[in-house]
Amino acid sequence: MRHLIARTLAVAAALAATATAPVPAAATADCPRLTGRWHGDARTHLQRLIDERGTCAHPGGPRPVAAFDWDNTVTKNDVTDATLSWALRHDRILRPARWKDTSAWLTDTADHALTAACGTGTPAGTPLPTSRNARCTDEIAEIRESGTTTGGAAAFAGTWNHRRTVPQYAWVPALFAGRTPAELSGYARAARREALAAPVGAVRTLGTRTVPGYVRYYDQQRDLIRTLRRAGFDVHVVSAGAEPITQVWSRSLGLDAAHTLAIRSVLDRHGRITPRTEGCGGVPAGPGTAIPYLDGKRCWINQEINGVHGQDAWRQAPWPLRPALAAGDADTDATFVADATGVHLVIDRHKPELMCRALDDTDGRWLIQPMFIDPLPRRTDPYPCATAAYNAPDGRLTSLLRPDGSTVPDQPDTAR
């Protein structure tokens, strides 16, 4: 704690000095420049942040943090889904002894559905023939996508904090139980090659379903991340995907494993993935109760970047330790994006909690960017901010509140 206080005071002093001293014109001219095409005046605001906070303008100053969600924020389409699709089409999922072992929240109905669809003829611990068994593939893919079985029944039940985890996200790494992180990284590399080679808009058949067949890095986000790094920012990824998969994709942007936070599986004594995941903020390792999801993203940023442990990791960090820039596209990103002190960058996918915060724009620092590829049309009805935008810990959708406790009114979609 003394180390954290000392670091906070040191960063605060440096930032205070920065705030009171104008940025020399020559220094800002030397700061790296963004080149991508952005909506409206977003590029201007992002460049201003780089000029004002970057160590290019303040040599010897603290390195400001920038934090990015990955799927549908840095890339178009989900890289964990692309890897699971590849694995199912290439028989890389090992049959568990019991499907109930893959999640503490898996229902008996889901267990029975998976057992019936995937059969018991394959010995436990050996690859399921999912490339030939469309029924098994469909069941796994439906549970991953919707949290329900193909018959429409809830696949997960019980109690969990809905701002710290979602069982179907934690379930994906568990599907690779028995494999090593190196093997999963290999599947991710193969899926990456396939997805980048496919044309934009491509789809493929998975079981009997049609799913996206391509992934693309957003050129603007690639440029932003590289420009931030050249300007001295400490850039991190914080994702609710599987960590070995996300690391494969982030590496090409110069982000190493230490700068890529995602769902981290507990390994057995042989170094193989288990259904358990590491915890955060005093929550021990378990079935996935504290993954980088919603409030969990704040926790993982505080714990892994700022060195804050225990219950304090769940609380908003002091201003000097919060990200200068945070970027996301979904409600799972709402907490850490709102924590940013310089720019809250939102890729617009019409997600209510995140978009309500962005459109309310209480601090004047929210930037809304339509998806760079295949953007959504304007939403015709207002976001239900005043009644059903906040994802409560017990799973209810309730009123979204501002930091001062007032209710965010319903927001029309004015992002275009």
- Tokens linked to 72: 């549908």
The span from the CA of 170 to the CA of 105, in Å, is 10
Contact yes or no for 163/295 (Cβ under 8 A) = yes
The span from the CA of 270 to the CA of 267, in Å, is 8
Contact yes or no for 134/258 (Cβ under 8 A) = no
pLDDT given at position 416? 72
The span from the CA of 346 to the CA of 327, in Å, is 6
Give the other-Cβ count within 10 Å of 273's Cβ. 24
- The total of structural domains in the chain comes to 1
How would DSSP label each residue in 104-137?
Answer: TTB-HHHHHHHHHHH-S-SPTTSB--TTT-HHHH
Phi, psi at residue 380, to the nearest 5°? -85, -30
Asked whether residue 6 is domain-assigned, the answer is: no
Could you tell me whether strands 390-391 and 366-370 are parallel, antiparallel, or unpaired per DSSP bridges? Answer: unpaired
Asked whether residue 343 is domain-assigned, the answer is: no
Contact yes or no for 323/300 (Cβ under 8 A) = no
Interior CA angle at 155 toward 74 and 293, to 5°? Answer: 30
Rg of the chain, C-alpha, whole Å: 22
Element (H, E) at 298: helix 295-304
Asked whether residue 87 is domain-assigned, the answer is: yes
Asked whether residue 289 is domain-assigned, the answer is: no
Domain of 89, in residue numbers: 79-212
pLDDT given at position 30? 82
Asked whether residue 115 is domain-assigned, the answer is: yes
pLDDT given at position 21? 45
- Tokens linked to 28: 């800002």
Contact yes or no for 296/304 (Cβ under 8 A) = no
Element (H, E) at 216: strand 216-217
Tokens 């378990």 correspond to 286
Asked whether residue 300 is domain-assigned, the answer is: no
Burial pattern 5-34, b for ≥16 Cβ within 10 A else e, equals eebbeebeeebeebeeeebeeeebeebbeb
Residues facing residue 260 across a β-bridge: 237
Q: What's the pTM?
A: 0.93
Asked whether residue 147 is domain-assigned, the answer is: yes
Asked whether residue 92 is domain-assigned, the answer is: yes
Report mean pLDDT in 10-residue bins for the chain, 416 residues. 47 45 55 95 97 93 96 98 98 98 98 98 98 98 98 98 97 98 98 98 98 98 98 98 98 97 98 98 97 98 97 97 98 98 98 98 97 97 98 98 97 90
pLDDT given at position 5? 46
